[in-house]
Amino acid sequence: MPAKHFCKAPKLRHHKATGQGYVVLNGRPIYLGRFHAPVTRQRYHRLMAEWLAAGRQAPVDGDAITVKELVARFWRHAACYYVKPSGAPTSEINCFRSALRSLRQLYGEAKACEFTPLALKAVRQKMVQAGWCRKTANSIPFEF
132 shares a domain with 84? yes
Q: How many CA atoms lie within 13 A of 106 on its CB side?
A: 16
Q: Residue 76 domain-assigned?
A: yes
Model confidence at 4, pLDDT cuts 50, 70, 90, reads low
Q: Residue 144 domain-assigned?
A: no
76 shares a domain with 51? no
Q: Distance between CA atoms of 141 and 32, rounded to whole angstroms?
A: 40
- CB neighbour list of residue 52: distance below 8 Å, 6 or more residues apart: 9
- For strand 13-15 and strand 20-25, is the pairing parallel, antiparallel, or unpaired? antiparallel
133 shares a domain with 72? yes
If you average pLDDT over residues 23-34, what whole number do you get?
89
Q: Give the end of a domain, one of 59, 82, 102.
A: 59
Looking at the 3D structure of the chain, how many domains does it have?
2
129 shares a domain with 95? yes
| pLDDT of res. 1 | 43
Q: Residue 143 domain-assigned?
A: no
Model confidence at 20, pLDDT cuts 50, 70, 90, reads very high
pLDDT tens-digit series, residues 32-56: 999 999 999 999 999 998 888 877 7
Burial of 21 (0-12, 13-18, 19+ CB in 10 A): buried
84 shares a domain with 53? no
Q: Distance between CA atoms of 19 and 144, rounded to whole angstroms?
A: 48
75 shares a domain with 132? yes
pLDDT at residue 2 is higher than 50: no
134 shares a domain with 79? yes
| pLDDT of res. 19 | 95
Burial of 63 (0-12, 13-18, 19+ CB in 10 A): exposed
41 shares a domain with 24? yes
25 shares a domain with 2? yes
Range of the domain at 119: 67-138
Burial of 119 (0-12, 13-18, 19+ CB in 10 A): middle
Q: Distance between CA atoms of 115 and 99, rounded to whole angstroms?
A: 16
134 shares a domain with 72? yes
If you average pLDDT over residues 54-78, what whole number do you get?
81
What predicted TM-score, i.e. pTM, was given to this entire model? 0.58
pLDDT tens-digit series, residues 84-143: 888 888 888 888 888 888 899 999 999 988 889 999 889 888 888 888 877 776 666 554
